[in-house]
Chain A
Amino acid sequence: MKKFLLFIALCLITPSIAIGQTFHAIIFANTKSPGNPNNPNDSGIGPSVTVDFERMSIEMTTIAKSIGYNIRKYYYYGTQQSFNRRNLEAVLNNLTCAPNDIVYFYYSGHGGRAMNEKSEFPEMVLRVPYGLASESELYPLYDVYNQIKRKSPRLTIVMGDLCNSTIKGYYRNENNASKGATVLSKSSFDLYKNLFLNVKGGLIVSSSKPSVTSTCIQTIDDKDLGGNFTHNFLETLQTCVAYDIDVSWDKLFDEVAKKTRKFNVIDDKGNEVPQDPVYKLHLTTAPINNNNFDSSVLAVPITSNDDATNQRDKMAYTLSKVCNRNIDKLDRIHNIKEAKALFSGANARVQVVGFDNSTIVNTCSANSYLNYLSMATNMDQVVVINSTTDNAGKVKYLKVHEIHYK
């Protein structure tokens, strides 16, 4: 009987040991933000925010993988039912952090600042439909930072790509506080470890200074590249990874700010003035020993708040079991059957995109993609970005990104 109880106790303890340190990835993205109904030429910021959302989800997965943390996703996007203040408050209230956990909060959408705002940071507009917002649909970025800091994680990162221009007549009630596959290499592990594991504290960043708007950017042929700030943040981070450039948070944001400033708005004399991000770093050097993690182990995804994210993660896990280099080749071939069952049949297509979420690396049938995965020699996992299904719930089209080892 004693042995049985000991066994039960061990079973209860084991998951918490296995979970270890958690990378809490919280994203609020207004991906369905519509255009102005009075302006037929305005498609809204939704497409641009979608680019930000998809790229940031890839980046967060890469970061967590590189530093040996289990990622826990809290993704709120799409309809008002998901992208709203109630969900934001619930996430912040329910968040529990172990001392070595990292919390990375990212917002992409509309924003503005109260007439009486004391911080340099704006408020998020947690509302999908176009039109007037109520006070209960706004939430200050700085309050998110303070709330996460109170949970005492090892590192708090709060980042927003939104306008910081003043909202007429709005005084905040103080009580209302609220390009190819990713390649994991020694340099990417070192860079992410340096940024996320060698420091302790918090940082908050917003895409523009008080009284200034934030812009979306597009290619010359009008393809959305996302927010000016987010695009430059990801480009800079990935350039550092690609060229093994040792970078600290302050140097990283200096470079991001320099690039973001290149995209101008107009000042009162008709001159161009830069979109200048604002950031505050409260970091101290405090290395953490995390050398004994095995980055090649394929982790079972932790359940997220969002059904669609869970579905994508489940699909990604099934595909990753076919390609992960840590799994025996024969087992990978056996796993094809399970992966094949996800798809609608011979007509199902898979599109592989680069880390910029737009470069198309490959498009092929699901069957040939699975064969390719099973033969891949140095692959870690597949990240599912989006999919379309038929009436039976089988995948007709799948957009993925691959994470390889060098």
Chain B
Amino acid sequence: MKHRYWAGILSLFAILTSCSLSKSSNEYNAASVTLGNDSIVIYNDSIDDILLNAKKVLAYDMADFVQQNDSVIKRDSIFNYHVKKKIGPLNSKELNILSFIIGDKSWYIKKYNPVRRPFNPDFTLEFIQSKKHIYMFVSFGTEEVAISDSKGNFKFYKMKDKHILARWALLKFPDKEYYIKL
């Protein structure tokens, strides 16, 4: 009889504990793990058109997040992001591989929670089509890309897969050790 009493108490405790644990895990917003993306546009139709069909794309290596020697050297910038070095236009092979990667609309996760690292682009791509310019800023540290029109209207996305773009960047940019580490 005494054993039954303790078994009852233990069962009640187990139920209470599991209720408490499942409550705390269910209350989370699962936004950052939402892979599905039913959107048919990335930014909007006209910007998507330039992004996916531009004939000329310029690449920029961007200033590192941490400034050595405690000084920010005066540099060119795209909006308020400093350029470290102009790399120049992509060749057709580089452009084709890039188009394949960024053309996958499910690669862009639109709703996600903030991460504990500031957005700082590692490189930027400038897409040019008929005098129209749009920009893609890639920040591997936060696993985000930002797309901006020529006026600086930004939209931010989390990359579904940062490594595929990192492998592409390895071919194009300096700091190879960094892209290998990714």
Residues of A within 8 A of B (CB): 35-39, 41-45, 48, 109-112, 115, 125, 130-136, 138, 161-163, 165-170, 207, 211, 213-220, 222, 225, 227, 235, 239, 242-243, 259, 262-270, 272
Contacts and interface: CB of A to CB of B under 8 A. Distances in A.
Nearest to B111: A41
Nearest to B71: A134
19 contacts: A38-B146, A42-B114, A42-B156, A115-B177, A132-B82, A138-B66, A166-B182, A168-B64, A168-B140, A168-B141, A207-B116, A215-B32, A219-B28, A265-B32, A266-B109, A266-B160, A266-B161, A269-B161, A270-B161
Given A39-B146, A132-B65, A165 B140 contact: yes
B103 to A, nearest CB: 15
The interface centre, meaning the residue of B79, B117, B177 with most chain A CB atoms within 10 A of its CB, is B117
A39 B32 contact: no
Given A130-B118, A135-B68, 8 more contacts: A38-B154, A112-B65, A125-B118, A132-B120, A168-B65, A169-B178, A222-B29, A264-B33
Contact of B182 (A211, A270, A272): A211
A214 B32 CA distance: 11
Given A168-B65, A266-B35, A217 B113 contact: yes
Contacts of A166: 140-141, 178, 181-182
B143 interface: yes
A262 B27 contact: no
B91 interface: no
B117 A216 contact: no
- Across the A-B interface, give the 5 residue pairs with the lowest CB-CB distance, nearest first: A268-B163, A169-B64, A163-B117, A170-B66, A134-B70
Contacts of A125: 117-118
Interface in B96-112: 109
B116 A213 contact: yes
| Interface of A, helix, strand, loop or mixed by DSSP | loop
Interface in B154-182: 154, 156, 158-164, 175, 177-178, 181-182
A206 to B, nearest CB: 11
A146 B137 CA distance: 38
B35 A163 contact: no
Interface stretch (B17-25, B41-49, B126-134): B17-25
B80 interface: yes
Contacts of A138: 66
Q: Chain A CB within 10 Å — which of B70, B71, B80, B113 has the most?
A: B113
A44 B114 contact: yes
B156 A39 contact: yes
A111 to B, nearest CB: 6
B117 A110 contact: yes
Contact of B116 (A163, A170, A222, A263): A163
Interface of B: 13, 16-17, 20-21, 24-25, 27-29, 31-33, 35, 63-72, 79-80, 82, 109, 113-120, 122, 140-143, 146, 148, 152, 154, 156, 158-164, 175, 177-178, 181-182
Contacts of B16: 243
B33 to A, nearest CB: 5
B162 A268 contact: yes
B25 A262 contact: yes
Nearest to B109: A266
A211 B166 CA distance: 13
A403 to B, nearest CB: 21
A134 B73 CA distance: 12
Nearest to A262: B25
B79 A213 contact: no
B79 A38 contact: yes
Contacts of B21: 239
B127 to A, nearest CB: 18
B115 A213 contact: yes
B25 A259 contact: yes
B115 A214 contact: yes
B115 A219 contact: no
Residue with the highest number of chain A CB atoms closer than 10 Å, among B32, B71, B80, B114: B114
Contacts of A48: 114
B141 A167 contact: yes
A111 B161 contact: no
B70 A135 contact: yes
A271 B16 CA distance: 33
Contact of B118 (A41, A110, A267): A110
Contacts of A41: 156
A405 to B, nearest CB: 22
A115 B181 contact: yes
A34 to B, nearest CB: 9
Nearest to B32: A215
A227 B28 CA distance: 11
B59 to A, nearest CB: 15
Contact of B80 (A37, A44, A225, A268): A37
A133 B65 CA distance: 6
Contacts of B72: 132, 134
Contacts of A136: 70
Contacts of B66: 132-135, 138, 167, 169-170
